[in-house]
Amino acid sequence: MLMWQNLPYGVAILTFMLGIYCLLFKRNLIKIAIGLKIMSDGLHLLLLCLGYRAGGRAPILPEGGGAKEIVTNLATSFVDPLPQALVLTAIVIGVCVSAVALSLAVKAYQRLGVTDTVGLRGK
Amino acid sequence: MREQLPILPIVILFAAAFLTPLVGMVVERWRLPRLRDWFAVASLGISGAACLGLTQIIWTRGEVEYRLGSWPAPWGITLNIDGFNLIVALLAIGVSLLVGIYAIADMRQNSGLTRFYTLYLLLTVGIMGLTFTGDIFNLYVFLEIMSVAAYGLVAFEEERAEAIAGAYKYLVLGSVGTGAVLLGIAVLYGLVGTLNMRDLALKVQALGIQGQPPLALSVAMAALIAGLGLKAGVVPLHSWKPDAYAGASMPVGAVLAAASTTASLYALVRLLVVIYIPWLNIVRPILLALAVLTMLVGGFLILQQNDLRRVLAYSSISQVGYILLGLGLWTPIGSSGALLHLMNFAIMETLLFLAAGVIIRQAGTSELRYLGGWGRRFPTITMLFGLGALASAGVPPLNGFASKWLLYQAGIEAGQPVLTVMAVLVSALTLIAYGKVFSGLFLGPGEPEGRIFKPSLLTMLPTWVLAILCILLGLWPAQALTYLRSALAVLVDAVPAVQVWGYWDPVVTGMLLLGIAVLASLVVAVSRSLTRSQPCPGKSALYLNGVSTVGDGWGCSYADRELYMAGQHLYWAVRRIFGPVLGALDLSFLKGGLGWVILTVGVLIFLLVQTIGGI
């Protein structure tokens, strides 16, 4: 059933597909690096969606004992914090991959004078 | 200290990796750059010693769970070490150590070695973490550490165009692969909400018991198989491998081929066996199909290569097929054979890369047509290379034969002799391809020129160690198999004692030998009849083993690029028959490789949804 709360999943898959499209049909080395980033961002969005709960609370216990019902309903009322931690890690890794990809693009231009995959293959 | 032992191999290497730049800076000032190299190698040695220390604990206790930060299992990250991943880790660290020693001498002429050793240690950290971890997201992180370090290492000799091209291709395809792994993990987490592998296994299997498993399970399985399969170089996800190996320096190629591939295969097996055990019988035919494809494509493409690095790359691809074959059969003898072959694969691939590396480094090229005469110049190292080549072609009494023999038996025992025939055929193709290499090295024209230096002790020592291991494991495979039984116990519940020899009744063996003979003569006859109709200069004695620039006829149009030698018509016949198919799989730069990856993921999802079901 198509519902508004499923929209983020759709956006995530669309972003992922857009990245794949970019990898498949772009030749410029920098554009391909951007495509990789878009693809992984789609994945990150998907992970975030998994942990989201509409109307959920931040997963922080209130101080004191005043919120006993919150603690007992912990599993159903909190937003899942784990995917956010995972995404944070994945973003850092994504930055590393982008950095390596871009530096390779720079090296390809410096050493070989090419900026696209066709030129890289021809060398 | 004893409690902290499981984490030590990883922590030591991490610390050493980040200390290497510092050590490099200090040592440069004293003008003792070799000290930095030895620092890196020593840290590998200490880490290996810690792994060896772990064997004793595993031996007595069976398995160890190490909690990072003392968080209990389903919430915190754990390292789960048992017989299976300890063996993979020992192989990986052993290979890294030997290759590290080799690299001290081999990479001496390169500049910027501080970066090289930092990345090299990080690559090893990634492999060790990948094997030890018990947390599925941690597995992804270590996979990425391994991959990013590998991209950098492939590009290390940046003055060669292939290095940059290979690294870029590897980076793009590798990132798609790790992206698929992340997708699989995300979907699994969304499904059951846990990351600890044991907990995940329990919850996923509970889904299986409840009846119709959800669609997401099939998607996750397909994504994980494709992602880790890409890292291991399973056809048709292999296209990065030849290019990356052609770009990498030989020590890097050795570690990628042996340690990194082994670890990726391990991760694939671990996920399939631990998490997806209820659906294993459904996945097995898919694994077998991938195995056959990997063996055959690797075997046929290895014949077409005119570059030593690419020969090694395709040889390592076809060996991965054998391991998958044993796993796909999943009989006791099949999985024993697969595990033994995994071990032998790591040893003989490293041997091949290191021995070839000595010649390639001195010749300055890896194209076979320019390597003429180098075999005569370096007889010892070429003999060691030959030993590795014979081992990977499965010639007795070397180690490759023992594990392949088990796999042949497994195929027949499982009632699928077709698989055995294919495995034998690919062994023959590997042998022919290495025959071509040898023909080039020994009989090719030309005389080595330039400044030739004697290979140093540091390059010879690791090569000799590996060669001796090849022979020892070939002569006493039964002993190795006994040690592997504790590893197998993790995979299969009841491990019957598997005999390497004397398992078969003479009729089956005789039939198989007869089949091999018939098959070989059939291949030769077909290729002869195909080439006879169009005479080539290569068949005349004048051009035998010489480089010809004459090109006429269909086969000979390739002539200016390759060597003529005895049996050349076989390559032409293969190319004539399978040319279009092989052309489609010997992939062009990026689009082709990527297209195959996406297609494979699609087909896997389709097949798994069809078989496992789900809505």
Report the pLDDT value the prediction gives residue B394, as an integer from 0 to 100: 85
> Residues 6 or more apart from A50 whose CB is under 8 A from it?
A80, A83, B186, B189, B190
Greatest extent of chain A over all pairs of C-alpha atoms, in Å: 70
Q: Establish how many alpha carbons lie within 13 A of residue B126's alpha carbon, considering only the half-sphere containing its beta carbon.
A: 26
* Dist CA B550 CA B568 (whole Å): 15
Q: Which of B3, B251, B280 is nearest to B107 (CA)?
A: B251
Q: What is the pLDDT of residues B107-133, one digit of tens each?
A: 888 888 999 999 999 999 999 999 999
Tell me B540's DSSP state.
S
Predicted confidence (pLDDT) at residue B220 exceeds the cutoff of 50: yes
Give me B476's structure tokens. 């006493």
Q: Do B141 and A40 touch (CB under 8 A)?
A: no
Q: Does B592 touch chain A (CB under 8 A)?
A: no
Q: pLDDT-based confidence at A82, cuts 50/70/90?
A: confident
At which residue do the structure tokens 């080595």 appear?
Answer: B448
Conformation bin of residue B328: beta by default, left when phi > 0, alpha when psi is -120 to 50 = alpha
- Binary contact (B141, A89; C-beta < 8 A): yes
Find which of A13, A17, A23, A25 to mutate to test the B interface (most B CBs within 10 Å of its CB).
A23
Chain-chain contact of A105 with B168 (C-beta, under 8 angstroms): yes
Residue to mutate among B182, B185, B219, B224, with most A CBs inside 10 A, is: B182
Contact yes or no for A120 and B165 at CB 8 A? yes
Judged against a pLDDT cut of 50, whether residue B547 lies above it is answered with no
CA atoms within 13 A on the CB side of B530: 20
| B516 Cβ contact list (under 8 Å, min separation 6) | B424, B428
CB contact under 8 A, A50 and B159: no
**Closest CA relative to residue B172, chosen from B158, B187, B156, B155:** B155
**A74 touching B, CB under 8 A?**
no
| Of the candidates B286, B255, B309, the residue with the CA atom closest to the CA atom of residue B124 | B255
Residue A68 confidence (pLDDT): 64
Residue A11 has a pLDDT of 93
User: Is cis: bond before B417, omega within 30 of 0?
Assistant: no
pLDDT digits 0-9 by tens, B400-439: 888 998 898 888 888 888 898 889 889 888 888 888 888 7
Q: What average pLDDT does range B552-559 have in this prediction?
A: 35
Model ipTM over 0.90:
yes
- Containing H/E element for B598? helix B591-612
- Cα-Cα-Cα-Cα torsion B567, B573, B575, B576, nearest 10 degrees, comes to 160
Candidates A15, A37, A97: best to mutate against B (most CBs of B within 10 A) is A97
Residue A89 and residue B588: Cβ atoms within 8 Å?
no
Average pLDDT, stretch B3-21? Answer: 93
The partner residue sitting opposite B179, judged by closest CB among A39, A107, A117, is: A39
- The predicted pLDDT at position B506 comes to 57
Q: Which residues of A touch B590 (CB under 8 A)?
A: 23, 32, 117
B175 touches chain A (CB under 8 A): yes
What pLDDT was estimated at residue B321? 95
Q: How far is A104 from chain B (nearest CA, A)?
A: 7
Percent of chain B surpassing pLDDT 70: 84
B74 touches chain A (CB under 8 A): no
The Cα of A107 is separated from the nearest Cα of chain B by a number of Å equal to 7
* Reported pTM: 0.90
Q: What's the pLDDT at B575?
A: 66
Q: Which residues of A touch B148 (CB under 8 A)?
A: 93, 96-97, 100
Q: Mean pLDDT, to the nearest integer, of B349-354?
A: 95
pLDDT digits (tens, 9 = 90+) for B473-515: 988 888 888 878 777 776 666 555 666 655 555 566 667 667 7
User: A93 touching B, CB under 8 A?
Assistant: yes
Give the model's pLDDT for residue B489: 73
Smallest Cβ–Cβ distance between A36 and the set B175, B186, B595 belongs to B175
